Amino acid sequence: MGHVELRPLDDDDLDAVFEMMRDRDAVAKEAFTADDPDDRAAFDTWIARERAADDVTLHVVTEDGGFAGTAAAFTVGEDREVSFWIARHAWGRGVATEALRLLVSREPIRPLFARVAAHNNAAIAVLQRNGFAEIARDSAYAPGVDREVEELIYALAPVLDGV
């Protein structure tokens, strides 16, 4: 792993983010994705909405200065959640773990939650290495695999007593 940083999302990043989120293997692992990952107009509408939202913080993950993925914090209902998506070229080298560590260190709101498809072992490991623990399971439709999948809900472990 090279030097990992988070920086604000720029207009110049949008093509790389769109291409990363179209990767078929990544879509299958992530599972909870856009209905049609190849629909650029839908992506542009979604990303514009996210960038305009007051409760969303979007970051680009860089490794040695190059694009390596995204990390975000956002509110769902009353819960503050975190998410990360790492480009294929950066898989398996600790980039996701470091990106999530940086995101959690910058996010002031607690408690923090994350959701992950039960079959995404790599993302589960990243969450666990960053102090998240499973607190619930649910079933949800996942467009990335076109079926219902088990969804795991994680919370940052130090706040589990207050959940």
**Which range of residues forms the domain containing residue 158?**
4-162
pLDDT of residue 162: 47
Distance CA 153, CA 159 (A): 14
pTM score of the predicted model: 0.93
- Give the percent of the chain with pLDDT over 90: 87
Instruction: Express each pLDDT in 47-87 by its tens digit.
Output: 999 999 999 999 999 999 999 999 999 999 999 999 999 99
CA dihedral 53→106→114→160, nearest 10 degrees, is -130
13 pLDDT exceeds 90? yes
pLDDT score recorded for residue 1: 83
Residue 89 sits in a domain whose CATH number is 3.40.630.30
With a cut of 90, say whether residue 144 has pLDDT above it.
no
Residue 163 has pLDDT above 70, yes or no: no
| Structure tokens belonging to residue 29 | 């692992």
For the chain, what is the domain count?
1
| H or E segment and range at residue 27 | helix 24-30
